[in-house]
A and B are shown apart, each in its own frame.
Chain A
């Protein structure tokens, strides 16, 4: 039997599919052996006949090889690269506008780049990382998820601690910073901030490691969520960023409970978890707001969410003049004065990074803004559909979390771009297009491509335990 399976698998070039194919065929042959024995054959003859019944292993192996090829979503790769190049052209044209006062310079190493150059640099880095993620097996990410997530959280905490200590070291006389070891520490761990979104795919792996556990697994998962939320909040008013991550982690946990990885009563547990994570923060913020415990910027943020804010009306005012094609104009004083939307950009929009969609609509027309939103939405929908089709539950949860992260950020950014939410100190981004989180957007798409690649190779469940040498010897 093993000889038959070995010969068959030698024909299948996609190594990742070997285990699933081997297991399925082995079960089939074992069933046939049992039937043959029950019909009066001895074990040896029963196995010989069962293997003969399977036919030529080379012929079957070649047929399976044709079916099991790594899946490459070329359309998505081309679309992602296309979006990046298109984005670079838009950034270049926006940078040429006389009113683009917020368009500055960025320095990478010793190279000075304008915004379009900086965006293109990020696109190139993003595409390289996307292809790297595609080559890495996502189950490997899951295998080391706990260690990597812990390292990420610790590194980001150290970075923030060093930042606090560094700003304490200001020379009161000259107002300059006194060089200290904290500068080096902060710089050493600076990678952790831009990587904090990786908690979303990593958490899928962590949850998978708790598969089969009951309340113990649930409590451990909740501790990961709370700690991740607190750490991701950081020091630079990143509550929105932390909120998006926590929502993604909660959705992943909900799917894990639904898929019975964590064996707790489904409806009661999910209701309790979501109620807790909705009610407690609202009550806490309300209490802190009423008692004026929050900092001034946070008080403003809370107030702006529930009341009218100036930045809201300014964006809406600008958007009221947008045309389908080209720049539009806004009328004032009953039509006596008209101002071009192009000229209004610099005076009405404070932060350039968050309002990419607004700018495109104001300068190039609503049709182009709509086209950009459609293409990015199509990429996100592709991600959701691919993960939904994946047999492997780990891939499904990881992919859903990643796409949700992109989708929520895209929706939040659209709310900001349409003047329905304020920005304040939250650096919102529109995936792939804003000059912010470009690399992260591509990295997340790379994880989806990796899941898509193995969608037919991995069975429903796989083993992601890290095996030590001693364990291997025992087995």
Chain B
């Protein structure tokens, strides 16, 4: 059971990193993009995206910054530079 959960978290992590490798996004933007692509891993549990994002931010995988967009202050996430370098190497 625990193994299955960890596997799911790893998958979700990869999915988030893949999304953010395309462009910087805020939480709702990620959920909306995933829905459009029919990758509904956060269906009926969109809130669970945030512990994942905050955890990745805490361990330095992601960076965040605040920016106004569509009349609201939003927290954008981006892949940390060193992580981006590793991702580029992986894809080569």
Name A's B-contacting residues (CB within 8 A).
Answer: 8, 21, 23-25, 27-28, 30-32, 35, 52-57, 59-60, 63-64, 66-68, 389, 391, 456, 459-461
Contact = CB atoms under 8 A, between A and B. Distances in A.
A30 B50 CA distance: 16
A303 to B, nearest CB: 49
A63 B73 CA distance: 24
Interface in B8-63: 26-28, 31-32, 43-48, 50-51, 54-55, 57-58, 60
3 closest A-B pairs by beta carbon, nearest first, are A55-B45, A63-B51, A60-B47
B72 A27 contact: yes
B65 to A, nearest CB: 6
A27 B46 contact: no
A54 B58 contact: no
Contacts of A66: 51
Contacts of B66: 459-461
Contacts of A25: 47, 50
A421 B65 CA distance: 44
A202 to B, nearest CB: 25
B27 A55 contact: no
A30 B27 CA distance: 12
Nearest to A389: B60
Given A456-B54, A461-B66, 7 more contacts: A21-B54, A24-B50, A24-B75, A27-B75, A57-B47, A67-B58, A459-B75
Nearest to A391: B64
B72 A52 contact: no
B74 interface: yes
Interface in B60-86: 60, 64-66, 72-75
A21 B28 CA distance: 14
Given A30-B72, A391-B64, A461-B66, A55 B54 contact: no
A63 B48 contact: yes
Contacts of B50: 21, 24-25, 60, 64
Contact of A460 (B44, B45, B55, B65): B65
Contact of A64 (B27, B54, B60): B54
Interface of B: 26-28, 31-32, 43-48, 50-51, 54-55, 57-58, 60, 64-66, 72-75
A384 to B, nearest CB: 16
Contacts of B73: 23, 27
A59 to B, nearest CB: 7
Nearest to A26: B72
A382 to B, nearest CB: 15
Contacts of A55: 44-48
A45 B58 CA distance: 35
Contacts of A53: 43-44, 46
Q: Which of A53, A56, A456: most chain B Cβ within 10 A?
A: A53
A59 B74 CA distance: 24
Given A389-B60, A459-B66, A56 B75 contact: no
Contacts of A24: 27, 50, 75
Contacts of B65: 460
Contacts of B32: 35
Given A27-B74, A459-B66, A460-B65, A54 B54 contact: no
Contacts of B57: 456
A8 B73 CA distance: 21
Contacts of A67: 51, 54-55, 58
B45 A54 contact: yes
B83 to A, nearest CB: 14
Nearest to B74: A27
A52 B51 contact: no
Q: Which of A66, A389, A460: most chain B Cβ within 10 A?
A: A460
A55 B45 CA distance: 4
Contacts of B72: 27, 30-31
B44 A52 contact: yes
B48 A28 contact: no
Contacts of A461: 66
Contact of B28 (A31, A57, A68, A460): A31
Contacts of A59: 45, 47-48
Contacts of B75: 24, 27, 459
Contacts of B46: 28, 32, 53-55
A66 B54 CA distance: 10
B45 A56 contact: yes
A212 to B, nearest CB: 14
B92 to A, nearest CB: 28
